[in-house]
């Protein structure tokens, strides 16, 4: 995605970037939480440097 959260999170968790992106998309489509979670994680990423 645009803000680099998936790549950052994949390094933190040791998962593949594609799996994290798929999880965000599934979260948005089925549960409506993926986008909000993505933005929260972006804020965490920005302030953790």
Kindly list the domain boundaries of the chain, sorted by start residue: 5-47
pLDDT computed for residue 36 by the predictor: 82
Cβ-contact 17, 11 below 8 angstroms: no
User: Which residue is listed with tokens 């798929």?
Assistant: 22
What are the pLDDT digits (tens) for 1-49?
578 899 999 999 999 999 998 988 888 888 888 788 888 999 999 998 6
Cβ-contact 29, 21 below 8 angstroms: no
pLDDT computed for residue 28 by the predictor: 84
pTM: 0.74
Distance CA 1, CA 11 (A): 15
Cβ-contact 36, 44 below 8 angstroms: no
Cβ-contact 7, 48 below 8 angstroms: no
pLDDT computed for residue 1 by the predictor: 57
pLDDT computed for residue 4 by the predictor: 87
């Amino acid at each position: 995605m645009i803000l680099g959260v998936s790549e950052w999170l994949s390094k933190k968790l040791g998962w593949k970037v594609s799996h994290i992106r798929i999880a965000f998309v599934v979260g948005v489509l089925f549960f409506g939480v993926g986008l909000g979670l993505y933005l929260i994680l972006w804020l965490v990423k920005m302030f953790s440097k």
